[in-house]
A and B are shown apart, each in its own frame.
Chain A
Amino acid sequence: MEKTPTVTPTVNRRAFLNTLGVTVGGTGLIGAGLVGGSQLLKAAQDPAKGRVPDTPFRTGHMTFLTGAGAVLGEPSIKGHTMAAEEINAQGGLLGKRKIETITADEAAGTDACVKEVRRMKLDAKIDMFTGVISSGTSPAVGPVAEELGLLTILTDGCTDFLFDKAIPNPKYVFRITNIQSSDGITAAIGVAQTWPHVRKIAHIHPDYAYGRNASEHFTLALERLVPGTEVVSESWPKLFTTDFAAHITKIMSAQPDLLVASVWGGDYVAFYKQALRYGLFDKMKVASTIAFGVAPHAIGKDHPEGVLAGVHSNYYFTYPGGDRWPLNKSFVQRYFKRWNEYPNFQSEGAYMALYLLKSAIERANKLTGGWPEDEAIISQLEGLGIDAPSGYLYMRPDHQAYKDAVTGFSKNLPDYEFASWDPARIITIPIRNITAPLGWPKPGTTHNESTAAANWIKTTWPKVVG
């Protein structure tokens, strides 16, 4: 990683975006800074070495089964279930150990989640823990998994706080989705790329950790990419609000060029339906970090076109599209066949968590034979690269996964019963260019920024001029 001097240098925007590796049009498949080359699925064909027990491999999957978060939780459990079914159809892990899953409801509250993880490990004797959606839950259960020595692959709960502060030196806990700060940065890059002339900006974010994080990192990145913008309106609706009439009128009265939103799930559905009828989308550009993060069919055909509709910078089922990346095509087909709907980023994350594990176990087995110890699985997971429906996935040695950040613009295609992405305008960014590099000082060490990413941007990003 090249370090730039601390005095903020200046560059021209086009050059900067090129350095960031931003591509538009969905042609980029850059590879998430792959180190060791990808481990393809064909590895699975080799027979396992040594004696492998045929006892079931028990996983515990935690996600929102009830309440307002269930709109994200349902796809998560569906992705997990499908991966388990596929692996079991081939005989299970190493062809022997069938995956069994018990679930836990994240909506029971963070204290109940802590109890649940302990119950799953100590009472139900799970071998691995997966899942988690809320960025309030991952810092709660991460340390618990560490103290229990419970192998964990979080499939969301992507807050920077988890590896910045809650468990700065994780041993057992991995996370497969992109880190949260990249969400705001991705949206900012999308804006700089598409609408570099916006000046007056309005914000609407749910009033909790995720909204704060999205707002902060969007603003930080935009200050570098499009200097001279000003915030003309701010709204902090309570999470799980559905009445946005007053927020919408307030935003419109400030007459901004751009609205930045990180409202998600059912809240976003309610928001866009109201904003549509108030004519908000005609008066300004709208950039969202996570509008299309819900299950695709939750968005209606009435969703306006041309909105930067983020997917938590992770995955949308139409990308990589066509026959260019058969892994995604077949994943989407199988998912649709199994559940009669399209996957979202939660589905893909939960699905890939099991395949990542499978790959690590197979690699470890090749080395040592027999069923690998947790230690061996962990050392294989660290630095593992694998092909995923979303593209190349790479697990950094610090346990935070890397995959290209992706975002796109809404468009009504005849192929789907809902608004989806314009295939010609999908934006991809190599994740290494928008995430603090491995080993960057964490908050509370050499700096006191809210996240390592914030410090990294402030220290190393140049400022655009002209």
Chain B
Amino acid sequence: MNYHWNWGIFWEMSPEGTGTYFDMLLAGLWWTLATSALAWIIAFSVGSVVGVLRTLRSGWVVMACNAYVELFRNIPILVQLFLWYFVLPEVLPAEMGRWLKTMPNAAFWTGSIGIGLFMSARVAEQVKAGLQALPRGQWMAGTALGLTTAQTYRYILLPTAFRIILPPLTSEMLNTVKNSSVALTIGLMELTAQTRAMQEFSFQVFEAFTAATILYLIVNAVVTLAMRWVEKMAAVPGYTTGH
């Protein structure tokens, strides 16, 4: 191999002039985390609502929510980001479009919302599956006790359903972090984008990508451990969800 290794590169100043190459990667990591966090909040809240609505007994609500899920699941995330970033400002009224285009941190907001909505369809699938995994008797018991539909969901069905789907939700969370890298295509300087920039400035391809790989692995490990802790905290003694 005639590749010149230079692991000291991380402590050299980057041509951006704002710090070392390592600082550059850390800045990228920060955007990755910020984008993932906002996207996950959107995915979780929208996905939970859509997932619950899909289990209701109202034909047109279920149909509308199914259409929502199919729409967001069957278009690649990259194409969805392009639709939000390039197409939306053009089809909106001129005034609003201009506001969208000149918004500060537009890539961050568009990326987070786009990835959030993409992931919300997956969360909705999980929430629906969790609710459907519960025995029908639970719903009936709620009705028999005189609870309204909202109360039945709030106090009986959802607490168990969310516990059942904690493991798949953890992997959706990890998917959100991974998908945040797609936002580099609309100009978000997240971790993968900064790694690319570092490689272009310094020509130290493999050092840069190794560092990014390690940082992603650390984020993965932290999220997994945190969620395992949440699972343990949320576990109901004597009630196993059977996974």
**A and B from one assembly?**
no
Which residues does A use to contact B, with CB under 8 Å? none
